[in-house]
């Protein structure tokens, strides 16, 4: 599978819309396209899937390591992979877009804001390419997509100004219909705010998909690894609008190791027969009253008290606590398994790559083992005096005073989102299988 990385000159330059236009253009030419996202984001991938119908893969050096990142890439399917970057091309100390491009040995399609510029667009792209050589970075900027560029003289001026070695891959026209609405955790999800089809088609028509495909390269394959043996464990995974932040690789790993079924707490589904329950992150705060009324949370609380292995990440953690208070001041009862009360805020409370060290054996790690993940949340937790924590935070904020992994019974709740390459979900399946 060949691939390219779509990088930007800065955050909010329009990488997501440019990526969606490229995905649509390649599909229109008959290519089987695999979308991917550099960095730990869950929201941009939902837009990729809305356009392609294919789950987008997460490629993050901090979460997966270089070998794990390459394994995750090659688990995708298609003849070309389009990897949307994060922030500006060179920004980020853990897993920048440039670092992902280097690890995969993929060329970069640079998204440059062309509003009120022509030669300056070329100068900017030239600077980004030359910076890599001067900084000793193994990054190849193959060409540009001009964001907010008109056709005609504007487009031609950009093309004429590009120096040799920098290709012109097309443009995204300046259209208000090509803007994705924001909300408190970033952009709206793909199923909520799909771009106007006509506007996206227009943008795709201005993308030179054939040139991008020709510029794409094939990353080296990593050494194969052996996944642990399949177990007899049964794992129930919450999947609905309140619990929608799940990496495709996580579900793949769980299904390789266990019998997986899904359920919806929002719909009041009966909890499947299971040895373990996984509540991923999402938006419980947007559905707090429905969750408070859901018999599914009561069932989870009952199973947790009986010793079933339960893990909740971020939104899953919030649903497992005593209560959730929204920014409007409305308080709703949650499952009541973990001794904490959660409150939403207008500003984010944590945003970082995370490293945790287990203080003892827990559901996702052995004693002194480390797990890497990320945190991004607008809530804080007021924990009880008798709260027990599974992890010391080496990097990041955690739940309380440099600690993460609130524990009760065999239930574990973290603000940290984990990737299966960390080994966390293998440990969880094995612990659940022992129950």
Cα dihedral across residues 390, 394, 395, 397: positive or negative: positive
pLDDT, position 344: 97
pLDDT, position 225: 72
pLDDT, position 192: 57
Q: Which residues contact 235 (CB under 8 A, 6 or more apart)?
A: 254, 258, 259, 260, 261, 274, 275, 276, 277, 278, 428, 429, 432
CA 137 to chain centre: 25
* β pairing state of 108-113 and 141-147: parallel
- In whole angstroms, what is the distance from residue 169 CA to residue 330 CA? 50
pLDDT, position 227: 77
- In whole angstroms, what is the distance from residue 285 CA to residue 343 CA? 9
Q: What is the DSSP string of 11-40?
A: TTSSHHHHHHHHHHHHHHTT--EEEEEESS
Whole-model pTM: value is 0.93
Cα dihedral across residues 38, 43, 46, 51: positive or negative: negative
Q: Which residues contact 321 (CB under 8 A, 6 or more apart)?
A: 334, 335, 336, 337, 338, 339, 340, 341, 342, 381, 413
CA distances from 110 to 2, 128, 135, 402, 405 (A): 17, 9, 18, 38, 39
Gyration radius (Cα) of the chain, Å: 22
CATH superfamily label, 2-215: P-loop containing nucleotide triphosphate hydrolases (3.40.50.300)
Residue 316 backbone phi and psi in degrees, to 5: -65, -40
* β pairing state of 276-279 and 321-325: unpaired
Cα dihedral across residues 384, 389, 393, 398: positive or negative: negative
- In whole angstroms, what is the distance from residue 17 CA to residue 363 CA? 39
DSSP strands (E only) in 265-359: 276-279, 309-313, 321-325, 331-333, 338-344, 350-358
pLDDT, position 313: 98
The residues annotated with a catalytic role in the active site are 314
- In whole angstroms, what is the distance from residue 266 CA to residue 257 CA? 27
pLDDT, position 299: 98
Long-range pairs, 367-372, Cβ under 8 A, ≥24: 369/423, 370/394, 371/416, 371/418, 371/422, 371/423, 371/424, 372/62, 372/63, 372/418, 372/419, 372/422
Task: Give start-end residues of each CATH 3.40.50.880 domain in the chain.
Answer: 234-433
User: What are the residues facing 380 on neighbouring strands?
Assistant: 343
pLDDT, position 256: 96
- Give the residue from 247, 236, 341 showing the smallest Cα distance to 288: 341
- Give the residue from 147, 101, 104, 107 showing the smallest Cα distance to 124: 147
Q: Which residues contact 237 (CB under 8 A, 6 or more apart)?
A: 246, 251, 254, 260, 261, 262, 263, 277, 278, 280
Q: Which CATH number fits domain 234-433: 3.40.50.12780, 1.25.50.10, 3.40.50.880, 1.10.10.10?
A: 3.40.50.880
- Does residue 342 contact residue 323 with C-beta atoms inside 8 Å? yes
Task: Give start-end residues of each CATH 3.40.50.300 domain in the chain.
Answer: 2-215
Q: pLDDT means per 10 residues in the chain (435 residues)? A: 97 95 97 97 92 96 94 95 97 94 98 93 96 93 97 96 97 87 55 75 96 96 82 98 95 97 98 98 96 98 98 98 97 98 95 97 98 96 96 97 97 97 96 92
- In whole angstroms, what is the distance from residue 95 CA to residue 86 CA? 9
- Does residue 350 contact residue 379 with C-beta atoms inside 8 Å? no
- Give the residue from 297, 277, 278, 299 showing the smallest Cα distance to 287: 297
- In whole angstroms, what is the distance from residue 346 CA to residue 11 CA? 21
- In whole angstroms, what is the distance from residue 233 CA to residue 261 CA? 11
């Amino acid at each position: 599978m060949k691939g390219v990385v779509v990088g930007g000159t800065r955050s909010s330059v329009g990488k997501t819309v440019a990526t969606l236009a490229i995905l649509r253009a390649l599909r229109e030419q008959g290519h089987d396209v695999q979308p991917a996202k550099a960095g730990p984001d869950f929201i941009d991938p939902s837009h990729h899937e809305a356009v392609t119908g294919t789950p987008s893969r997460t490629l993050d050096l901090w979460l997966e390591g270089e070998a794990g990142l390459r394994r995750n890439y090659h688990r995708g399917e298609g003849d070309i992979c389009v990897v949307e970057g994060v922030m500006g091309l060179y920004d980020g100390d853990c897993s920048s877009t440039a670092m992902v491009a280097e690890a995969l040995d993929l060329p970069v399609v640079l998204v440059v804001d062309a509003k009120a510029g022509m030669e300056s667009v070329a100068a900017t792209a030239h600077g980004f390419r030359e910076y890599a050589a001067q900084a000793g970075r193994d990054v190849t900027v193959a060409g540009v997509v001009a964001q907010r560029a008109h056709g005609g003289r504007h487009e031609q001026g950009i093309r004429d100004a590009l120096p040799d070695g920098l290709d012109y891959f097309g443009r995204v026209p300046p259209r208000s219909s090509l803007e994705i609405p924001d909300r408190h955790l970033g952009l709206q999800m793909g199923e909520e705010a799909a771009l106007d089809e006509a506007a996206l088609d227009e943008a795709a028509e201005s993308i030179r998909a054939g040139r991008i495909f020709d510029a794409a390269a094939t990353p080296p394959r990593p050494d194969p690894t052996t996944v642990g043996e399949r177990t007899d464990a049964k794992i129930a995974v919450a999947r609905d609008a309140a619990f929608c932040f799940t990496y495709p690789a996580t579900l793949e790993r769980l299904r390789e190791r266990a019998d997986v079924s899904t359920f919806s707490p929002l719909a009041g589904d009966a909890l499947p027969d299971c040895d373990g329950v996984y509540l991923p992150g999402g938006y419980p705060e947007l559905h707090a009253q429905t969750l408070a009324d859901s018999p599914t949370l009561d069932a989870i609380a009952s199973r947790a008290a009986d010793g079933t292995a339960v893990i909740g990440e971020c939104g899953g953690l919030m649903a497992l606590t005593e209560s959730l208070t929204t920014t409007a001041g409305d308080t709703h009862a949650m499952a009541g398994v973990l001794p904490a009360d959660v409150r939403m805020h207008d500003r984010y409370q944590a945003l970082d790559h995370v490293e945790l060290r287990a203080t003892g054996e827990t559901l996702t790690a052995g004693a002194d083992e480390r797990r890497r993940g990320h945190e991004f949340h607008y809530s804080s937790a007021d924990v009880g005096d008798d709260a027990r924590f599974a992890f010391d935070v080496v990097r990041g904020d955690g739940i309380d005073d440099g600690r993460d992994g609130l524990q009760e019974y065999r239930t574990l709740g973290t603000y940290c989102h984990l990737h299966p390459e960390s080994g966390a979900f293998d440990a969880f399946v094995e612990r659940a299988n022992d129950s």
